[in-house]
Amino acid sequence: MPATPTDRRPTAGRVPATDRPHRGRASTALVWGAAVAQPFLFLLAARTGPYRSTELRLFLTAVAVGLTLPLARRNPLAALGLLLAGLFAAATTRPDGALLYLPVLAADALVGRIAALRPPRILLPTALGALVVQIGAATYTTSGQDVFVSTVVALALALLTAGLLGRSVRERRDHAAELRAATAAEAVAAERLRIARELHDVVAHSIGVIAIQAGVGRRVIDTQPAEARNALATIETTSRETLAGLRRTLGALRGATADGRPAPRDPAPGLADLERLAASTADAGVRVELRHLGNPDLALPPEVDLAAYRIVQESLTNVVRHAAVPVCRVTVERRTDTLLVEIADEGRGAPPGADTRGGYGLVGMRERAALLGGSLTAGPRPGGGFHVTALLPLPAGLPEGTPAP
């Protein structure tokens, strides 16, 4: 028979929600009751006659101080007030001075805790009030002006030390929180830049090819239907590749699908895909001359392989958009400790006096090179045209024939 709401019973070991407020109030009442009883127990310990042992009085004093510990965690100001009240009341009975050491140290510890939790506008009057009460108690337990003065100095130094230690703890905690916030903000900014670079590199080249092919198709659709069909086929292929790249980027950002399984990720592009990139650039009207120098079997770290591909891709996009040239050269040289990537054309280049630091594309290329500890230069060539040169460092001892881990 299915259970109804009236049939349900609280699970063993679990407190019903309706009982939790009552338990919370009972716990608070117990904590406050123990703290309020502290001054009376302390006074009892101080008034215990000389026929009682010193060990018993010290034990009762320790118990009295211990009664304030639960309240000290919740409300250190109230705990300090009750502790000082018990200290002064016991001091008026002129007990043995050794009985006051533990309460004084406990009061100093509470001042240090207040310094770690509260602002100076609360700490300063609290510490001053505690010092006044302690000095008042010292008038009942000291004899002689020299002893009294030395006692006051010791009490002031102890309170000052406790306050400074508490402030130091507060400053370290605040500094650690600021560092965590700054680290989180820096990580967010770095991730935003990485996403911006990936989206720019994935989309910019393909959109340039699509725009050019769409213009070609529009102009020849009536006179050269076959050429228009070829343009549409190129647009379709480029669009599919762009969509796959966007899915890969978004999948990497998402990390997992809605059902908790890892998101599917296609292999990231690399220098092995330069032939395909050159073919798509040729469809946009610019023939690419590829040259591979150095050791062709030298494996590359994945991050270097991807960065080199993106640098070539962005450079070819700029050639298609701005150079107005039918051909450009791409050189990839695998050296022992460096990967050289160079893209050069003989087009219009940049006008004299122009800022060659460029827009987001050149900025993204420089960021990719800098993240790997390399460098990138871009600017007009002396004989006309434009060139981009990237030097990406390679770790020592790379294997041959297989991708680096």
* CATH code for the domain in which residue 403 is found: 3.30.565.10
Taking the model in full, what pTM does it have? 0.47
**Domain ranges, residue 313:** 274-405
Mean pLDDT of 371-382: 88
Q: Of 141, 157, 184, which residue sits at a domain end?
A: 141
Residue finishing a domain among 141, 162, 180: 141
Q: Tell me if 222 is assigned to some domain.
A: no
d(CA 404, CA 334): 14
Among the residue ranges 164-173, 336-345, 378-387, the one predicted with the least confidence is 378-387
Residue 89 lies in a domain: yes
**CA-CA-CA-CA torsion sign (320, 324, 327, 331):** negative
The two tokens of residue 326 are: 């039918």
* Res. 129: pLDDT tops 80: yes
In a domain, 248, yes or no: no
Number of domains present in the structure of the chain: 2
Q: What is the pLDDT of residue 398?
A: 60
Is 265 a member of any domain? no
Say if residues 324 and 340 touch (Cβ distance below 8 Å). no
Q: What is the mean pLDDT of residues 374-393?
A: 88
Reduce the DSSP state of residue 342 to 3 states and report it. Answer: strand
- Distance CA(104)–CA(141), nearest Å, equals 13
- Is residue 266 in a domain? no
Enumerate the H helices of 6-75 as residue ranges: 20-47, 54-66, 69-74
Higher pLDDT, 8 or 87: 87
400 against 61, higher pLDDT? 61
| pLDDT tens-digit map of 12-35 | 455 555 555 667 777 777 778 777
**Contacting residues for 27 by C-beta, under 8 A, at least 6 apart:** none
Closest CA to 110 of 80, 86, 66: 80
Picking from 116, 141, 166, the residue at the C-terminal end of a domain is: 141
Whether the per-residue pLDDT at 361 is higher than 50: the answer is yes
What is the pLDDT confidence band of residue 329, given thresholds at 50, 70 and 90? very high
Q: Is residue 128 part of a domain?
A: yes
Within a domain: residue 148? no
Could you tell me which residue, 213 or 340, shows the higher pLDDT? 340
pLDDT at 403 over 50: no
Compare 18 and 193 and report the one with higher pLDDT: 193
Confidence (pLDDT) at 340:
92
Which of 241-250, 362-371, 396-405 has the highest mean predicted lDDT (pLDDT)? Answer: 362-371
Question: Which of the four pLDDT bands, split at 50, 70 and 90, describes residue 389?
Answer: very high
Residue 36 lies in a domain: yes
Task: Classify 8 as helix, strand or coil.
Answer: coil
Listed in sequence order, the residues at least 6 apart from 60 whose beta carbon sits closer than 8 Å to its beta carbon are: 41, 42, 44, 45, 48
Q: What is the pLDDT of residues 131-187, one digit of tens each?
A: 898 888 888 877 777 788 888 898 899 889 988 998 999 999 888 888 888 887 787
